[in-house]
Structure 1
Amino acid sequence: MKTRRETRQQLVPHTIDGTTRMVPDDIPVDIPVPPRDWDRIALGTATGIVAIALLGCVAFSTTSIGNLLDRVTPTPAAYGAALLFDLAWIGCTIIEWLGRYTPDRVRKARVGGYIALAVAMGAVAAHGWLAGNAATGLVGAVVSGLAKGLWAVVLDYQAAPLSRRDAAFFEQELSEAAVELARVPVRRRVNRARAMAEAERIALEADRGSANPDRSGESADDSDAEILQLHPNAPTTKDAVRIAWDAGVRDDAEAVRYVAKVTGKAPSPDTVGRYMRLLRNQVAG
C-alpha cells in the first residue's frame, strides 16, 4: 500500500528536573494513499472533452450565423442573436442534467433541446449555402450535432438509472417540498389580509366612538383611566393579546383592558376572547 508522509503536531511527554509536562512536537506520520480512481479520471477527461467541443461549437456557429444575420441587421445585434441559437439548446441540456432523477419532468426540455439544435444546424447550413459553399455549411452544422451528441452521451452515463417506483418516490418528495415552500408566500398573504381586515374593523369602531364597556378593573387614581392613549406605532390586537398572555394574563376582561391601553383603541371583546381561546388551545394541545 502506498503511503505519504505528513508532519503533524502532537502532545508528547517532556521531563525537565523530574517534572513531566505534555508539550507539542512535530511527529512524522505515514498516511495511506488510496489507489488511483481511473474511472473517475476517465469520466473527468470525457467531461473536459465535451466542454472543449461545446466552446468550439458555440464559437463556430455564432460566427457563422452572425455573419449570416449581419447582412440585414447591425453587427452587434446580429452576433447577439446568433449566440442565442446555441444557448437555447445548451440551456435545455442543463435542465436535463438537473432533472436526471425525475425524467418525466424534463421531457419538454429534451424535446426542446433537439428542436433548438436542429434550428441552429439549419442556420449554419443556410449560411454556407448562401456563401456559395454548401459543403462547408453542412460540415459546420455537423459540429453542433457532435457537441450535442457528446453531451447527451455523458449525461446519460452520469444519470443514475431509476426504476418507475424510485422515480415516483422522488416525485412525491419534491412535491412535498414544493408544498412547504409554497405555503410561505401564501401564509404571508393570508396574515397580511387578516391584519388589514382587523385594522379596518378597529378603524370603523373608532369612527363610531366605541369605548371599552368594562372599566371595573381600572383604578380611580389611574391617570390613564379617563384618557384614551394614542400610539401610532402600537402593536396589533393579536400581538397585544400575545404579550398579555406571556405576561401571565389569563382573564379575558383583563386582556381587553391591556390591549386597549397598549394599542390606544378599544378592541372588540369577541376578538380578544377568540385570540385567548386560541392560546389556551395551544397550551392544552
Structure 2
Amino acid sequence: MRIKTVRTTVPTEVTRDGETYTINKTVDRKVVTVVDVHRIVRRAVTAVTVLVVAVALAWSVTSIGALLSIGAPTWVAYLAAGAFDLSWAVLMAAEWTMQYDDRARIPRVAGWLALAVSMTAIATEGQLHAGVWIGIIGAVISLLAKGLWTVMMMITEHPLSDVSRQIVQQKRSRASEELALTITDRELIRIRQETAALRESGSLTRVAWDAEGITRKALAETLADAIEDDAGPAGSGSRPQSAGSGSAPESVPLRSVPDPDHFAPQSGSIKELVGSVMAEGITDPAAVVREVQADRPDASAETIKRMVRLHRVNGS
C-alpha cells in the first residue's frame, strides 16, 4: 500500500461584485493505492499461456507439415498442418467465450478430440524422422498448452450458483432474442424497400423493366407501334383473306369515325373517356382524340394518344 498525490479539478463557487460564478479549481488530493496481486498474477498467467500456445502451434505445424509432405506438396502439407492446430486453438477460444453458456460443453469436448488427433500426428512424425521420444515430447507440448489454457479459464472464470446461472441464461436469452429480431427487422426493411422499388418502377407484369433501362412509357410506345403495324392503316377496312379461305368469316374492321348511335360522351378522367371510346370500337388515335376533346376540350392530344397506347397494351 502506498500514498500518492493526484491533481484534479473540482467545481467551486466564487463571488465577485455581488455575482456568483462557478469555476474549476485545481486541488491536490492524497490517494491510497493498493497493489492488486491477484490481478497481476492473472495477467501473467494469461500472457504465459498465450505464449505457450503459440510455441505449441509452431512446433505442431512444423511436425505435422513434415509428416504430410511425404505424400503432398510442401506448401499444401503445411497449410493442412495449420488446419490441425488452428482447429483445437479456435475451439479453446470458443470455449472461453462461452464459459457461462451451457453449450460450452460442445467446443470443450471437440477441442480435446482435435488435440488428440494433433498429438497423434506429432508423435507419428517424430517416430518416423527423429525417434519415438522426440515424437512423444513434441506431442506433450500441445498437451501442456491445452492444460495451461484450462487452468487460465479456471482462474478467470467466476463461479456461479444455480440461481445466478439461471438468471444469466435468461438474460442471454433476451439478448439473443433482441439480436435475432434486429436481424429479421433489417431483412424485412430490405425486402419492403425492394418491393416498393418494383412497384414504383412500373411495368406490364409488375416486374422492374427499368432494370434493363426500359421504362414503362418506352415499352408501351414500342408495343403500340407494333400493334399499329400489324393492324395496318386506319380506315383500310378488313384484312385481306388468304387464298382458299372464302368460307372464313370476315375480320371486324377497325372503326376510324365515331358512331353517334353507339357512343355518347360521358364525364370522367381522360383515361376513363379513352377507355369508353375504345370500348365502342373506335380505335384510330385521331378519332379518339376528337371524341374525347368533344367532352373535354382542355384535354391534350398527346395525353390522349398516350392513353390510347396504354389502353392497347394493358387492355384497360
Identify whether the pair has TM-score above 0.5, normalized to the shorter chain.
Answer: yes
How far did 1:183 drift? 2.3
Which deviations, in whole Å up to 9, do the C-alpha atoms of 1:224-261 show, x marking residues without a partner? x9468xxxxxxxxxxxxxxxxxxxxxxxxxxxxxxxxx
Q: Structure 1 vs Structure 2: percent identity of aligned residues?
A: 34
**Alignment-derived partner of residue 58 in structure 1:** 57
> What is the rounded CA distance, in whole Å, between the counterparts of 2:270 and 2:135 in structure 1?
88
How far did 1:141 drift? 0.3
**Alignment-derived partner of residue 71 in structure 1:** 70
Instruction: Classify the secondary structure of the residue corresponding to 1:118.
Output: helix
Contact 2:6 2:31 in 1 (8 A): no
> What is the rounded CA distance, in whole Å, between the counterparts of 1:182 and 1:74 in structure 2?
44
Contact 2:92 2:107 in 1 (8 A): yes
**Alignment-derived partner of residue 44 in structure 2:** 45
CA RMSD of aligned residues (A): 3.9
**Alignment-derived partner of residue 85 in structure 1:** 84
Instruction: Classify the secondary structure of the residue corresponding to 1:73.
Output: coil
Greater relative contact order: 1 or 2 (C-alpha under 8 angstroms, separation 6 or more)? 1
Contact 2:8 2:29 in 1 (8 A): no
| Length, aligned pairs only | 207
In structure 2, stretches of 5+ residues that fail to align are: 207-267, 272-316
Mapping of residues 128-139 of structure 1, within 5 Å: 128-139=126-137
Which deviations, in whole Å up to 9, do the C-alpha atoms of 1:121-172 show, x marking residues without a partner? 0010000111150000001000000010011011022111123332232222
Instruction: Give the letter for the 1:101 counterpart.
Output: Y
Q: 1:3 and 2:10 equivalent?
A: no
Q: 1:158 and 2:156 equivalent?
A: yes
Which range is displaced more, 157-166 or 75-84?
Answer: 157-166
Instruction: Give the letter for the 2:4 counterpart.
Output: R
Contact 1:122 1:141 in 2 (8 A): yes
Contact 2:98 2:104 in 1 (8 A): yes
**Alignment-derived partner of residue 97 in structure 1:** 96
Contact 2:127 2:135 in 1 (8 A): yes
Contact 2:119 2:142 in 1 (8 A): yes
Instruction: Give the letter for the 1:171 counterpart.
Output: Q
Contact 1:5 1:28 in 2 (8 A): no
In structure 1, stretches of 5+ residues that fail to align are: 207-224, 229-285
Q: 1:143 and 2:141 equivalent?
A: yes
> What is the rounded CA distance, in whole Å, between the counterparts of 2:194 and 2:93 in structure 1?
43
Instruction: Classify the secondary structure of the residue corresponding to 1:83.
Output: helix
**Alignment-derived partner of residue 118 in structure 2:** 120
- TM-score (normalizing by structure 2): 0.55
Q: Which of residues 168, 171, 180 in structure 1 aligns to 2:169?
A: 171
> What is the rounded CA distance, in whole Å, between the counterparts of 1:40 and 1:69 in structure 2?
43
- Cα distance change, pair 27–84 in 1 and its aligned pair in 2 (3 A): same
Instruction: Classify the secondary structure of the residue corresponding to 2:109.
Output: helix
- Cα distance change, pair 2–109 in 1 and its aligned pair in 2 (3 A): same
How far did 1:186 drift? 3.2
> What is the rounded CA distance, in whole Å, between the counterparts of 2:11 and 2:130 in structure 1?
79
**Alignment-derived partner of residue 109 in structure 2:** 111
How far did 1:64 drift? 1.0
